[in-house]
Amino acid sequence: MKAQTLRGFRDYLPEEMLAKDQMLATIRRVFELHGYPPLMTPALEYASVLLGKIGDEEEMLLYRFLDHGERDVALRYDLTVPLARVMAQHGGLQMPFRRYQIAPVWRAEKPAKGRFREFLQCDVDLVGVDNAVADSEMLLIGCFLLDALGVTGYSLRVGHRGILAAMIAWLGIEGGKAERDFLRTFDKLKKIGPDRFKVEIDRLLGLGGEKVDALLALAGDSGSTSEILGRLGEELGEEAAEPLGRLEEVFALVDGAGYSDHVKIDVTIARGLSYYTGIIYETFLDDMSDYGSVLSGGRYDQLIGSLSGKEFPAIGISLGVDRLFSALKEMGILAQKSSPADVLVVQFSESKARSSVQLAQRLRDAGISALLYPTAAKLKKQFQFANNLQIPYTAVIGEEEERTGTLQLKVMESGEQFQLSLEDAVKRILSGGGGQ
RNA sequence: GUGGGUAUAGCUCAGCUGGUUAGAGCGCCUGGUUGUGGUCCAGGAGGCCGAGGGUUCGAGUCCCUCUACUCACCCCA
């Protein structure tokens, strides 16, 4: 046996999990602050539930096998299809239905940097409403979330599938493949620049000249949001009127909530997934543009209906938990700790074990995370342990302390040491910011 | 999926055109200091050189296969 994880799968060691769990706690808090409850669904689904709702390419990415009862099963590859299954399977759900779900998903694709075969996906969705209030709620959750995580420089770029459809008509593009090629290339415009865009669009679709120049001018982001929307309306005409009107409403609501600085229109946002039908958005970090979108989603009014047979307009956000985590780590806005403990209770000698165990328990009773060193190792070793794990305090009960009913509390960072009663030590730790 | 790169100690890496017992820094362990960490000093442990096969008198070094990682494209989270 060789100790080895499968390709594309990985371990998350305690130091990383401590920081990641803290980030996830913030994410959950933000969702619940918006009134969204959690949902949990099985990792395994009938393959028939997952198949057919996704493209042929995605079918190749399924981990699929026969279980012991010869059932054709597969690991979920996203959280949207399970949501749709839940909507179809459980009657009597209060509408509009909201939920968030943070759970691993599996895709058997080739791993790359920041891309794994098992990864944590985080989705928040609102089902049953198709209007500007619902659209803006998603954008506001995204902004609120990044603010809560301590991110300052970010922009949520908002587009609309209806505008893209109008552009396709305006350009005279016809056929499914041509449309997909256009969307994929247009989506990359910001990344590859206008020159390479022209080359690509000419190669794929044979488009060039004035029409493409006009398109590039139309896709520009100069001017205010309403100016941009007006420009699009004039050029694209009646076909784009409804989506543009929706965006105008959405931007007004976002502005009213005080988040207009972070939300910008960007008609080049296309999104890879084909099931989007309305507003779509991606989020980029100012200082970490090479990370790509960390938070994205859109409106998909047909998908759930196609699975459940009932009409379910829906809108959602997917969060790239691992990608966002890496970015936050690189930006240095995640707490770096190696242990959840506030205090290391040092075991002075084996004869003091009773006092040490008792002390650790009392500290925990007071709400302080206390770690007891499990052996009466040399004091040097125990203090070094606290140092390496960045535990802020150590507490020792030796001969003197046992006799007087006190303890030695040491502040590791400064090296200061005090002989205190338990009560005073608790107060000191809690006021020192190391508590909770 | 296509094309390139990498794989040597826990970590980051040296190891020249194949040539004795494979090195460094950091980390780890022990001691200097049997009531105290971060600094310093001394000593020590730890490697079938990713796995398997081949060429050779001889392979960490060259060739092939596999596995894993990585960069670009593709696609996404």
Q: How far is the CA of A17 from the C1' of B41 (A)?
A: 38
Q: Identify nearest nucleotide to residue A397 by CA to C1′ distance.
A: B35
Q: How far is the CA of A393 from the C1' of B69 (A)?
A: 39
Q: How far is the CA of A412 from the C1' of B46 (A)?
A: 31
Q: Identify nearest nucleotide to residue A123 by CA to C1′ distance.
A: B77
Residue nearest to nucleotide B29 (CA to C1'): A381
Q: How far is the CA of A4 from the C1' of B7 (A)?
A: 15
Close Cβ partners of A412 (under 8 Å, ≥ 6 residues apart):
A386, A387, A391, A392, A393, A394
Choose among A154, A179, A143: nearest CA to A164: A179
Q: How far is the CA of A7 from the C1' of B58 (A)?
A: 36
Q: How far is the CA of A370 from the C1' of B29 (A)?
A: 27
Residue A304's pLDDT is 85
Residue nearest to nucleotide B75 (CA to C1'): A272
Q: Beta strands A64-66 and A370-372: pairing type?
A: unpaired
Q: How far is the CA of A53 from the C1' of B65 (A)?
A: 39
Q: Helices (DSSP H) in A40-188: which residue ranges?
A: 47-50, 56-59, 80-89, 132-148, 161-171, 176-187
Q: Give the three-class secondary structure for A137.
A: helix
Q: How far is the CA of A34 from the C1' of B19 (A)?
A: 72
Sign, CA torsion A286/A288/A293/A296: negative
Measured distance CA(A218)–CA(A81) in Å, rounded: 35
CATH assignment of A14-331, among 3.30.930.10, 3.30.365.10, 3.20.20.140, 3.30.460.10: 3.30.930.10
Tell me the CATH architecture of domain A343-431. Answer: 3-Layer(aba) Sandwich (3.40)
Q: How far is the CA of A9 from the C1' of B65 (A)?
A: 24
Q: What separation in angstroms does the CA of A142 have from each of A101, A130, A155, A315?
A: 15, 18, 10, 13
Residue A435's pLDDT is 38
Residue nearest to nucleotide B30 (CA to C1'): A381
State the DSSP code for A351. G
Q: Identify nearest nucleotide to residue A120 by CA to C1′ distance.
A: B77
Q: How far is the CA of A387 from the C1' of B14 (A)?
A: 32
Q: Domain-by-domain residue ranges, chain A?
A: 14-331, 343-431
Q: Which nucleotides of B are covered by protein (CB under 7 A)?
A: 1-2, 27-31, 33, 35-38, 67-77
Residue nearest to nucleotide B33 (CA to C1'): A380
Return per-residue pLDDT of chain A as tens, 436 residues: 667 788 888 888 888 888 889 899 999 999 999 999 999 999 999 988 888 665 555 556 788 888 899 999 999 988 988 998 999 889 889 999 999 999 999 988 888 777 888 889 999 999 999 999 999 999 999 999 999 998 888 999 999 999 998 998 888 887 777 888 888 888 888 878 888 888 888 877 777 778 888 888 888 878 888 899 999 998 888 888 999 999 999 999 999 999 999 999 998 888 766 788 999 999 988 877 667 788 889 999 988 888 777 889 999 999 888 888 888 887 777 777 788 999 999 999 999 999 999 999 999 999 999 999 999 999 999 999 999 999 999 999 999 999 999 999 999 999 999 999 999 999 999 987 543 3
Residue nearest to nucleotide B72 (CA to C1'): A112
Choose among A340, A338, A335, A347: nearest CA to A388: A338
Q: Identify nearest nucleotide to residue A119 by CA to C1′ distance.
A: B77
Q: How many CB atoms lie within 10 A of CB A387?
A: 13
Q: Identify nearest nucleotide to residue A180 by CA to C1′ distance.
A: B75
Q: How far is the CA of A295 from the C1' of B44 (A)?
A: 51
Q: Identify nearest nucleotide to residue A9 by CA to C1′ distance.
A: B68
Q: Identify nearest nucleotide to residue A112 by CA to C1′ distance.
A: B70
Q: Identify nearest nucleotide to residue A319 by CA to C1′ distance.
A: B77
Q: How far is the CA of A24 from the C1' of B73 (A)?
A: 33
Q: Identify nearest nucleotide to residue A416 by CA to C1′ distance.
A: B36
Nearest-5° Cα angle at A98, A96 to A104 = 150
